[in-house]
C-alpha cells in the first residue's frame, strides 16, 4: 500500500473528503480488499495533478487491488469513471485489466509508470455527483488541451483556459495574469490567443474554483472531440479514417471531423478478426450493408479498441456489472474479457443513497512565479498548492516486502562463488593462497572465506569502534544530509566508471591500429565531455558536503546545509549534454559492429575486459551515463519527499526533479532498448552452439537453473528464455567456460502444464512444443512460479510475432543434435575442470549466468532493470561470524554483487561477493551484535555482518541488497520496519 509520511494530510482530507469512504470498484462502500499473500511490489502511479505516488501490492494481486488503493488514497467515491493506463511491451497504450494479475500485465514494474486518468466521459457533467470528481475531470480537460487532443476553435480554447486560470490564481490582475500565462503553457499555440484568454479572464471576477471547474466542463462537453481517443483505421477502399467510442456508440472520424456514428441501439455485435474490426448492425431495410469492416494496423490494435468498446457499452448501457461467463469444459472460443466495475447507474444510485457529506474544497490560489521562472519551466509546470496529493514517493522499494525463504540450500554447487582480484576462487577455493584460513575454518577442510585477501582476512582487521562512534556523533543527523552523502558516494563511483571508458579503454585502443578510427572518435567525442562535466560536479558536491559537516566553513557565514541548489545548477548543465547521452546507444551499437566485423577488435575488447579495472562487462560501463540519470531522479525524489514545501531547499530540489524527470522520459525508450541489447550481447559471450542471438525484436526474459527430466533422471541445465524461444544448456569444459546449447524449444504454439503429480517430481512442469516435449523441475515453488509466469508471457509474445519458425541453433547442432549433447560423464567431469578454466578466463567465470548455475537460481530482465537503479556506494564496517573487530571498507553494490575496496580512490576492487541466493536480515539477540544499524548476509554456513552510519544508510543498504538476493527472511523486526 502507499506509505504517506503524514497520514493526517492525505489528499482526500486536504480536499475535504470524508475519511470513512474508501472505495472498491466492485463492492461499493468497502475499503480495499485484503491483498493475497506474496512478496510486495512497488508500482508507481502518476496522478492527474502530475504528482507520482508509489503503491505496494502483492505480486499476485489483480489490477483491481491497485486501482482500489489509488481510489482509497484519494478518498474518491466515484472512482469507476477513471482507469489506469500504461504502455505495454509493444509500446501501445492500454488500460490495466482489473481482473487479471497486475504483474502479468506489467512486465517491468520498476520501469513502468501507470497514469490515473479519466476513462469514461459522461455526456453531462452534472451526472458527476462529487466536487472532487469534477475537479479531477477538470484536470483531465486541462491535460487534453495542453497536449492538443481536445481540438476546438480559438474562442472555446481561450474561454476554457481562462476558467482554468481563474481556478488556479483567482481574479484577474493585469501583471500577475500575464506573467502566469508566460510561465504556464495550457495550449500548444497559446501565444497566438493570449489576448483572448486575458479578455475572458477579466469577466470571471468572483468566480470560485468549483464554479470554474463547472464552467470548464460545461464548455468541454459540448465539443465534438470531448473525451474522444482516436484509433487509426482504413475503410474497405483504403481511405484513412479514425475510430472512436463514446457514451452513444462507435464514431467514425476523417481527420478531426465526425463523418458517421453508430448508436448502441443499432449495433448487434462488435468483433475483430485479425486486424479487421467488424461492426454488425441490426437489420435495416434502408441499409445495404449489415456488416461494416475497418482495417486497423494490427490484431493488437483491433483488440485494444474492441475492449474499450465493450467497456463503454457496459458502463453506459447496463444497469449492473455483467456476470462472468461460465468456463467451458473442453474448448474455449473467443475472448473471456469482460467489463469489471460498477456501471454509471450503479455509481449514481450509490452516491444518492449514501447521503455523503459534501465538504467544499479548501484551495489556495497558485502564486505567480514570474520571479522564479526556473521553478516552473514551460515544458513541465509544478502542481499548484491545491494539488490532489503530496508526492509521497516511496524510495524504499522493498522496505516492507515479504522476503522469500532460502531456496538454494540444495544446490549441488551452492557455495558462494567469488572472484578475488578479477581472477580466482570458485566454491571457496582460493588460488595461490592455500595456507590462509578464513575465520572459523578448520585446517583439515582448507575452506576459506569468500572474501580472502590480505585486506579481508582476520589479520587485516582494524578495531576502531570507539573512535568511529566519536567521529559519527560530530556529523549532522538530518536525513537530508545522508541523502546528499549518498549523492556524493555514488558520484565518486560513477566518475571512476567513466574513467574506465575515457582513460583506461581509450589508452588501449589509441595504441592499436586495428581499432577503427570512426568508433574511437565516436566514443571519445561523446564520453569525454560527460566525464569532464562530472569532474566539476563532484568537486561542487564534495565542497558542499564538507561545508555541511562544518569541516571547511568555520570562517564563512551562510546556510550550507542544503544540496538542491547544487543539483539544480548541475542538472541544468547536464541537460546541455543530452545530445551526447543520446549518442551513447550509437556507441554501443558501433562497438558491437566493429567486434563482429574484426576478430582483432573483438580480441582487444575481450582482453580489456580481463583487466582488473574493468570489473564489469565493458558494455555496462557504456550505459552508465543513462543509468545515472535514474539515480539522480531517485535521490531528488527522496529529498522532495523528506523536505516540507516550506523548506528553503525544497523549491530547488523540485525544480531539479522536474528537469531530470524530463530527461529520463526523453531517454527512457533508448535506455530500455539498449539494456535488452546489452543483455543479449552479454549472453552471446556465455553461450556456444548458437547463431544469430542478437536480432531486432528479440527480448531477453529470464535465465536460470532448472533440472531436466530424462531417461537417466534429473540433470541440471541452464535455461535461457527469450520472447520467441527457450533454449537449454549445460556448462561446458571449454577454456572460455561457456555454456553449451543442448536444444531449443520454439515458443510459437507451445503449451505448459504443471505435472508434479504425473511425474512424482516436486515443482515440475511440462512444456509441450511443436517438435518435442520437455519435463523440467525448479528448485522450489517460488522458482517454479516465476518460470511458469514468464514462459506463459513469452508464449503470448511469440504468438503475436510474425515469425513462428525462428531457429537460434547453429547449423552443426541443428543437423546433428545428438552428437553435440554431452554424456553424463562429461557432466560430472566439468565440475572438476571449473578451476582451471576459471584461472584462464577471469571475469567470465563470475558472470550472472555462472552465479545462477552455482546457486541454482534464476534472474529475469525485470531483475536486471531493478539492478540498474539499485546501485549504492559508501563506507561500511564489516566483520566475520567468529571475529571480534570491525574492518572499514569502501563497498560498491552493482550488478547483483558487492565489490570491496580499501578506499574510494582505488582503481579496482580487491574482492567481490555475488549476492544471488544470499539472505539479508538483521542479527538476532543470540548473535550478540550490540551495535546500531547492522545487517547480516548469510548463505548456508557463510555469514557476514555490516554496519552503516545511520538509519537512512542502513535502510538504503538493506533495500538495494534485497533487490539482489533471491532468498531472504519474510520480514524485518518491527523496530526496523518504519524508520521514517
Per the CB < 8 A criterion, the answer to whether 689 and 820 are in contact is yes
Nearest to 117, CA basis, from 70, 163, 168: 70
pLDDT at position 715 = 82
Q: Are 48 and 144 in contact (CB under 8 A)?
A: no
Q: Are 408 and 917 in contact (CB under 8 A)?
A: yes
Distance (Å, rounded) from C-alpha 95 to C-alpha 86?
7
Which contacts of 759-767 are long-range, i.e. CB under 8 A and separated by 24 or more positions? 759/709, 761/709, 761/714, 764/709, 767/726, 767/791
Is the separation of the CB atoms in 675 and 865 below 8 Å? yes
CB 783 within 8 A of CB 704: yes
Q: Which three cell numbers stand for residue 569?
A: 545548477
SS3 content of the chain, % helix, strand, coil (to 5): 40, 20, 40
Question: All 3 cell numbers of residue 382?
Answer: 509544478
Does the structure show a pLDDT above 90 at 405? no
Burial (CB < 10 A; 0-12, 13-18, 19+), residue 961, is: buried
The answer to whether 449 and 942 are in contact (CB under 8 A) is yes
pLDDT at 453: 35
User: How far apart are alpha carbons 151 and 131 in whole angstroms?
Assistant: 26
- Coil, helix or strand at residue 719: strand
What are the tens digits of pLDDT across the range 90-101? 888 999 999 888
Residue 733 has φ and ψ, to the nearest 5°, of -110, 15
What per-residue confidence (pLDDT) applies to 210?
87
pLDDT tens digits, one per residue of 28-54: 344 555 677 778 899 999 999 888 999
Fold of 40-118: Ubiquitin-like (UB roll) (3.10.20)
> Alpha helix (H) ranges present in 420-516?
465-474, 479-499, 506-509
**Band (355; pLDDT cuts 50, 70, 90):** low
Measured CA distances, 741 to 209, 765, 808 (Å):
66, 21, 10
Higher pLDDT, 162 or 15: 162
Q: How far apart are CA 148 and CA 94, in angstroms?
A: 20
pLDDT at 805 exceeding the cut of 70: no
Is 929 within 8 Å of 907 (Cβ atoms)?
Answer: no
Class of domain 689-801: mainly beta
Cell numbers found for residue 605: 575488447
C-alpha cell at 655: 525544480
Question: Is 831's pLDDT higher than 80?
Answer: no
Share of the chain above pLDDT 90, in %: 39
650 contacts 375 by C-beta, under 8 angstroms: no
pLDDT(530) > 70: yes
Predicted confidence band at 427 (pLDDT cuts at 50, 70, 90)? very low
Q: Which of 731, 729, 733, 757 is nearest to 742 (CA)?
A: 729
- pLDDT reported for residue 406: 31
Residue 496 C-alpha cell reads as 571512476
Residue span(s) of the chain under CATH 3.10.20.90 come to: 40-118
Burial of 399 (0-12, 13-18, 19+ CB in 10 A): buried
Q: How confident is the model at residue 820 (pLDDT cuts 50, 70, 90)?
A: very low
Per-residue confidence (pLDDT) for residue 348, from 0 to 100: 82
Could you give the CA distance from residue 581 to residue 574 in angstroms, rounded to a whole number? 10
Could you please state the CATH topology (level 3) that the domain comprising 871-965 is classified under. Answer: PH-domain like (2.30.29)
Q: What percent of the chain has a predicted confidence (pLDDT) above 70?
A: 73
388: CB partners within 8 A, 6+ apart: 11, 15, 47, 48, 49, 51, 74, 136, 139
d(Cα 779, Cα 784) in Å, to the nearest integer?
7
Lowest mean pLDDT of 232-246, 839-853, 874-888, 949-963, name the range. Answer: 839-853
Closest CA to 662 of 580, 587, 578: 578
Cβ-in-10-Å burial (0-12, 13-18, 19+) of 906 comes to middle
Domain 230-322+337-351 has CATH 2.30.29.30: yes
What is the C-alpha separation between 40 and 398, in angstroms, rounded? 7
Q: CATH 2.30.29.30: which residues of the chain?
A: 230-322+337-351, 689-801, 871-965
Among the residue ranges 463-467, 647-651, 799-803, the one predicted with the least confidence is: 463-467
Cα(611)–Cα(504) distance, integer angstroms: 10
| C-alpha cell belonging to residue 592 | 558491437
Average pLDDT over residues 797-811: 59
Amino acid 46: pLDDT: 93
Q: What is the CATH number of domain 125-221?
A: 1.20.80.10
Q: Under a CB-based contact definition with an 8 Å cutoff, are residues 577 and 666 in contact?
A: no
Strands 700-710 and 249-254: unpaired
CATH for the stretch 479-686: 1.20.900.10
Closest CA to 399 of 3, 862, 964, 945: 3
Q: Following DSSP, what letter does each residue of 114-165 receive, concatenated?
A: EEEEE----S-GGG---HHHHHHHHHHHHHHHHTT-S---HHHHHHHHHHHH
Q: Where are the domain boundaries for CATH 1.20.80.10 in the chain?
A: 125-221
Q: How far apart are CA 712 and CA 692, in angstroms?
A: 32
The segment(s) of the chain belonging to CATH 1.20.900.10 are 479-686
Query: Could you write out the DSSP letters of every residue in 446-474?
Result: TPPPSS-STTTSGGG----HHHHHHHHHH
Residues 6+ apart with CB under 8 A from 882: 439, 440
pLDDT of residue 637: 93
* Mean pLDDT across the chain: 77
- With a CB cutoff of 8 Å and minimum separation 6, the contacts of 646 are none
For residue 653, the Cα-to-chain-centroid distance in whole angstroms is 22
- The partner residues of 58 in beta bridges, in order of sequence, read 40
User: Alpha-carbon distance 76 to 47, whole Å?
Assistant: 13
Reported as a pLDDT band with limits 50, 70 and 90, residue 674 is very high
Amino acid at each position: 500500500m502507499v506509505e504517506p509520511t503524514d497520514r493526517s494530510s492525505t489528499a482526500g482530507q486536504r480536499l475535504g473528503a470524508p475519511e470513512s469512504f474508501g472505495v472498491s470498484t466492485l463492492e461499493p462502500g468497502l475499503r480495499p480488499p485484503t491483498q493475497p499473500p506474496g512478496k510486495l511490489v512497488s508500482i508507481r502511479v502518476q496522478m492527474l495533478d502530475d504528482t507520482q505516488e508509489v503503491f505496494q501490492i502483492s505480486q499476485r494481486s489483480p489490477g483491481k487491488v491497485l486501482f482500489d488503493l489509488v481510489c482509497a488514497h484519494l478518498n474518491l467515491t466515484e472512482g469507476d469513471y477513471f482507469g489506469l493506463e500504461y504502455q505495454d511491451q509493444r509500446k501501445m497504450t492500454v488500460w490495466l485489466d482489473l481482473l487479471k494479475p497486475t504483474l502479468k500485465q506489467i512486465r517491468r514494474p520498476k520501469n513502468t509508470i501507470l497514469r490515473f486518468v479519466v476513462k469514461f466521459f459522461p455526456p453531462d457533467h452534472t451526472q458527476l455527483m462529487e466536487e472532487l470528481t469534477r475537479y479531477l475531470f477538470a484536470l483531465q480537460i486541462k491535460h487534453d488541451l495542453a497536449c492538443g487532443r481536445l481540438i476546438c476553435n480559438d474562442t472555446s480554447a481561450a474561454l476554457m483556459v481562462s476558467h482554468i486560470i481563474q481556478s488556479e490564481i483567482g481574479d484577474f490582475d493585469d501583471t500577475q495574469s500575464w506573467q502566469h500565462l508566460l510561465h504556464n503553457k495550457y495550449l500548444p499555440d497559446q501565444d497566438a490567443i493570449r489576448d483572448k484568454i486575458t479578455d475572458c479572464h477579466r469577466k470571471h471576477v468572483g468566480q470560485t474554483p468549483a464554479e470554474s471547474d463547472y464552467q470548464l466542463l460545461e464548455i468541454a462537453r459540448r465539443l465534438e472531440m470531448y473525451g474522444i481517443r482516436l484509433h487509426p483505421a482504413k475503410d474497405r477502399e483504403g481511405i484513412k479514417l479514425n475510430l472512436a467510442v463514446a457514451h452513444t456508440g462507435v464514431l467514425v472520424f476523417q481527420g478531426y471531423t465526425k463523418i458517421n456514428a453508430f448508436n448502441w441501439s443499432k449495433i448487434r455485435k462488435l468483433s475483430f478478426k485479425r486486424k479487421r474490426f467488424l461492426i454488425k448492425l441490426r437489420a435495416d431495410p434502408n441499409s445495404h450493408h449489415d456488416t461494416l469492416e475497418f482495417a486497423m494496423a494490427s490484431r493488437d490494435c483491433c483488440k485494444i479498441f474492441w475492449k474499450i468498446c465493450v467497456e463503454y457499452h457496459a458502463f453506459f448501457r447496463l444497469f449492473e456489472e455483467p456476470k462472468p461467463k461460465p468456463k467451458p469444459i473442453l474448448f474455449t472460443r473467443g475472448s473471456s474479457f469482460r467489463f469489471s466495475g460498477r456501471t454509471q447507474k450503479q455509481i449514481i444510485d450509490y452516491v444518492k443513497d449514501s447521503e455523503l457529506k459534501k465538504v467544499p474544497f479548501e484551495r489556495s490560489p497558485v502564486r505567480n512565479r514570474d520571479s522564479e521562472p526556473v521553478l516552473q519551466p514551460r515544458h513541465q509546470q509544478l502542481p499548484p498548492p491545491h494539488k490532489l496529493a503530496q508526492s509521497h514517493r516511496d524510495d524504499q522499494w522493498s522496505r516492507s516486502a515479504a522476503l522469500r525463504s532460502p531456496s538454494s540450500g540444495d544446490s549441488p554447487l551452492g557455495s558462494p562463488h567469488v572472484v578475488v582480484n578479477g581472477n580466482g576462487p570458485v566454491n571457496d577455493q582460493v588460488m595461490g593462497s592455500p595456507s590462509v584460513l578464513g575465520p572459523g575454518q578448520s585446517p583439515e577442510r582448507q575452506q576459506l572465506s569468500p572474501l580472502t585477501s590480505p585486506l579481508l582476512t582476520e589479520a587485516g582487521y582494524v578495531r576502531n569502534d570507539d573512535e568511529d562512534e566519536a567521529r559519527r556523533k560530530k556529523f549532522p543527523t538530518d536525513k537530508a544530509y545522508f541523502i546528499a552523502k549518498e549523492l556524493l558516494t555514488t558520484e565518486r563511483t560513477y566518475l571512476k566508471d567513466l574513467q574506465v571508458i575515457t582513460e583506461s579503454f581509450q589508452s588501449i585502443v589509441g595504441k592499436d591500429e586495428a581499432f577503427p578510427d570512426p568508433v574511437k572518435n565516436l566514443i571519445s567525442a561523446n564520453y569525454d565531455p560527460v566525464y569532464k562535466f562530472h569532474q566539476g560536479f563532484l568537486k561542487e558536491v564534495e565542497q558542499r558536503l564538507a561545508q555541511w559537516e562544518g569541516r571547511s566553513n568555520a570562517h564563512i557565514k551562510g546556510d550550507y546545509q542544503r544540496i538542491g541548489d547544487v543539483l539544480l545548477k548541475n542538472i541544468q548543465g547536464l541537460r546541455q549534454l543530452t545530445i551526447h547521452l543520446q549518442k551513447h546507444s550509437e556507441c554501443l551499437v558501433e562497438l558491437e559492429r566493429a567486434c563482429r566485423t574484426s576478430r582483432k577488435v573483438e580480441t582487444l575488447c575481450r582482453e580489456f575486459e580481463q583487466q582488473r579495472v574493468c570489473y564489469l562487462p565493458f558494455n555496462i560501463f557504456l550505459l552508465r551515463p543513462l543509468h545515472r540519470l535514474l539515480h539522480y531522479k531517485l535521490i531528488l525524489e527522496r529529498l522532495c519527499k523528506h523536505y516540507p514545501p516550506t523548506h528553503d531547499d525544497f523549491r530547488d530540489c523540485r525544480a531539479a526533479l522536474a528537469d531530470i524527470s524530463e530527461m529520463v522520459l526523453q531517454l527512457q525508450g533508448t535506455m530500455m532498448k539498449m539494456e535488452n541489447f546489452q543483455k543479449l550481447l552479454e549472453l552471446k559471450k556465455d553461450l556456444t552452439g548458437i547463431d544469430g542471438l542478437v536480432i531486432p525484436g528479440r527480448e531477453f526474459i529470464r535465465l536460470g537453473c532448472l533440472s531436466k527430466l530424462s531417461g537417466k533422471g534429473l540433470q541440471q541445465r541452464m535455461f535461457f528464455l527469450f520472447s520467441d524461444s527457450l533454449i537449454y544448456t549445460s556448462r561446458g569444459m571449454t577454456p572460455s567456460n561457456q555454456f553449451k546449447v543442448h536444444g531449443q524449444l520454439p515458443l510459437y504454439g507451445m503449451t505448459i502444464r504443471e505435472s508434479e503429480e504425473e511425474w512424482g517430481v516436486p515443482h515440475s512442469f511440462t512444456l509441450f512444443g511443436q517438435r518435442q516435449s520437455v519435463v523440467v523441475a525448479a528448485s522450489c515453488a517460488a522458482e517454479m512460479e516465476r518460470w511458469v509466469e514468464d514462459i506463459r508471457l513469452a508464449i503470448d509474445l511469440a504468438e503475436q510475432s510474425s515469425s513462428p519458425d525462428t531457429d537460434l541453433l547453429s547449423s552443426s547442432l541443428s543437423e546433428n543434435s545428438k552428437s553435440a549433447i554431452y554424456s553424463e560423464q562429461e557432466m560430472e567431469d566439468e565440475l572438476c575442470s571449473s578451476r582451471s578454466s576459471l584461472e584462464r578466463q577471469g571475469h567470465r567465470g563470475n558472470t550472472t549466468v555462472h552465479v545462477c548455475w552455482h546457486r541454482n537460481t534464476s534472474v529475469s530482465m525485470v531483475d536486471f532493470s531493478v539492478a540498474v537503479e539499485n546501485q549504492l556506494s559508501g563506507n561500511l564496517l564489516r566483520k566475520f561470524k567468529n571475529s571480534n573487530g570491525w574492518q572499514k571498507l569502501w563497498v560498491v553494490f552493482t550488478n547483483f554483487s558487492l565489490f570491496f575496496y580499501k578506499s574510494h580512490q582505488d582503481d579496482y576492487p580487491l574482492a567481490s561477493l555475488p549476492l544471488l541466493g544470499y539472505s539479508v536480515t538483521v542479527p538476532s539477540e543470540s548473535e550478540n551484535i550490540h551495535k546500531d544499524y547492522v545487517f547480516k548476509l548469510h548463505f548456508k554456513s557463510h555469514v557476514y555482518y555490516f554496519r552503516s552510519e545511520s538509519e537512512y544508510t542502513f535502510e538504503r543498504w538493506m533495500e538495494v541488497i534485497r533487490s539482489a538476493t533471491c532468498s531472504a527472511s519474510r520480514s524485518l523486526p518491527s523496530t526496523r520496519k518504519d524508520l521514517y
